[in-house]
Amino acid sequence: MSESKRRCTRCTRNLPVDQFRRRYAGGPYRGACSSCLNEVERQRVARVKERAHSDYEALTTDDFAVGVGNVPETPTQAASRSKASEEKRQEYNRMMGETLSAVRDVAAGEEGELPDKVFEYLSFLSEQERRFGNRRLARSTAISLAHDVLGTRYFMRAAEKYFSDRVAPAGYSARPKPPPSPGALDRVVNILLSDLHLGADLSGVDNPMPFRRLEESRRLAHVFREVLDYKSRYRDRSLCRVWLNGDLIQGMLLHDLRDGAPLTEQMLIFWHLFRQGLALLAAHFPRVEVECQGGNHGRDKIRHPGRATSSKWDGHEWRMMYALSKMFSDVPNIRFNLPRQAVSVVNCFGSMVAATHGDTEVPLSNPTTRHDDNVAELQKINATRELGCEVDVWLLGHFHSAFLAPGKPTVLYNGMLVPPDGYARSKGHRGKPCGQWVWESVEGFPLGDARFVHVGPAQDSDASLDSVLAPLTLT
């Protein structure tokens, strides 16, 4: 082969040497001819554009404006790559500066429009930002989701293993005959429990009323005792329905970094008190049904830093109630319903009763000033049959305002067990009675004889209530 010609390693043609490029000044010729190298570059650019417009194709090192090699081939390349590395570390390069100058000139009226290369560069840069953003979002979301799923599954498995059969049947639940069929129970005693804020740990030093383990236990015990005494002459015909409707614990919302007992202690308080309380109901009622909904205080702040507007069930309170249900797995006359939806709907003798905490899912406001607006929202839900039926009675918490509003639909707002803390007082929440609702349901009257069970200082100092629910003691 003549020295004036070379064979291309790609197309295998014998071509003049002027159709080949040198690797660097004075260095050897490249193996492929210029035509083949141009075609390779064209294909590379096409692949870059294809990847840039795809949300799934992985980016490569060639897709970035500044490429940095690990092993330079010549001193000239080493200097070039050193400079490129410095620019990359600074996250700034010449084209950025030229683009900024061009934009300023156009904005100042010195130039009519941006050069084409600026448009191309901005398009390329925006694609990089979008792809990097998508990559980081996808990575963070995937890792977070994996942690959530694994954490929930591990907790459920641990609850099944360590919490099962922790409550021994007694009373009705220990009778040898099977529990009565639903048709034999023509009355329902309802108890609405929300905004308990167990573990709030309010000290009497800086609060008008303390609310610690003793006070929270005695207040809740008084509510359970009132349920046990409610129309006891109809006990053999009565089902007891417990509505757990959110904010059962204080949670860790960080109004104050030291606010409330540690989260683990709050969970222990809940399990300790409700294991006793529900066992009493199961012993005194032929059948007990527990409807479970979470609140904003019981949410997982890592999953839901703000209001939980999706997957609201995925929080601390749902896990707590799931573990509680496992404790009663050996008690035949109690049933738990733990829906994933943020609204529970129950058919009560042909009337539909719905429960949700009230902070999300249904856009509600403070009932003391905006009740009419709330009813309008609830009527929209009925009009659209969003829940698959027309709701006759709504059970709500969250607002700490005990308020029964007959109408279409009837709305029952629950009170709170906890007295106002410093945060609540700073918002002007004073003078509202503490307590929970108890009522009877019969055919045609889903919200019949209703009683608001008041709690306060009288119960806080009543030592006899310790025989109903024993306060938690940690050693």
Of the ranges 42-56, 80-94, 337-351, which one carries the lowest mean pLDDT score?
80-94
CA distance 358 to 343: 9
pLDDT of residue 103: 83
Give the residue with greater pLDDT, 178 vs 367.
367
pLDDT of residue 83: 61
Of the ranges 26-30, 53-57, 218-222, 273-277, which one carries the lowest mean pLDDT score?
53-57
344-348: strand order across its sheet: 344-348, 351-356, 393-396, 410-413, 403-405
| Residue 49 phi, psi (nearest 5) | -65, -40
Question: Does residue 446 have a cis bond before it (omega within 30 degrees)?
Answer: no
pLDDT of residue 422: 84
27 DSSP β-pair partners: none
pLDDT tier, 258 (very low <50, low <70, confident <90, very high otherwise):
low
Q: Which residue type occupies 290?
A: V
Q: Which residues contact 396 (CB under 8 A, 6 or more apart)?
A: 245, 355, 356, 357, 358, 364, 367, 411, 412, 413, 414
Task: Kindly list the domain boundaries of the chain, sorted by start residue.
Answer: 1-63, 166-467
pLDDT of residue 66: 46
pLDDT tens digits for range 275-331: 999 999 999 999 999 999 999 999 988 888 888 988 899 899 999 999 999 999 999
- Flag whether pLDDT at 8 surpasses 70: yes
Do the beta carbons of residue 147 and residue 256 sit within 8 Å? no
CA distance 106 to 113: 6
pLDDT tens digits for range 78-118: 556 566 555 555 555 677 788 888 888 888 777 778 888 88
In 231-366, alpha helices (H): 263-284, 316-327
pLDDT of residue 77: 59
- Flag whether pLDDT at 180 surpasses 90: no
Averaged pLDDT for residues 63-79:
53
Which CATH number is correct for 1-63, 3.30.750, 1.10.1240, 3.30.60, 1.20.1530? 3.30.60
Averaged pLDDT for residues 368-375:
93
Buried b (16+ CB within 10 A) or exposed e, 65-100: eeeeeeeeeeeeeeeebeebeebbeeeebebeeebe
Q: For residue 282, give the nearest of 133, 127, 140, 170 by alpha carbon.
A: 170
CA distance 320 to 273: 12
CA distance 426 to 207: 12
pLDDT of residue 90: 52
Do the beta carbons of residue 143 and residue 151 sit within 8 Å? no
Q: Which residue type occupies 377?
A: E
- Flag whether pLDDT at 152 surpasses 80: no
pLDDT tier, 190 (very low <50, low <70, confident <90, very high otherwise):
very high
Q: Is 425 left (phi over 0), alpha (psi -120 to 50) or beta?
A: alpha
Query: 166-467 architecture in CATH?
Result: 4-Layer Sandwich (3.60)
- Flag whether pLDDT at 356 surpasses 90: yes
- Flag whether pLDDT at 144 surpasses 90: no
pLDDT tier, 232 (very low <50, low <70, confident <90, very high otherwise):
very high
Q: Which residue type occupies 319?
A: R
Three-state DSSP at 353 gives strand
Do the beta carbons of residue 408 and residue 426 sit within 8 Å? no
pLDDT of residue 191: 98
Q: What percent of the chain has pLDDT over 70?
A: 87
Give the residue with greater pLDDT, 293 vs 147.
293
- Flag whether pLDDT at 74 surpasses 70: no
Of the ranges 28-37, 38-47, 136-145, 416-425, which one carries the lowest mean pLDDT score?
136-145
pLDDT of residue 382: 95
Do the beta carbons of residue 469 and residue 273 sit within 8 Å? yes
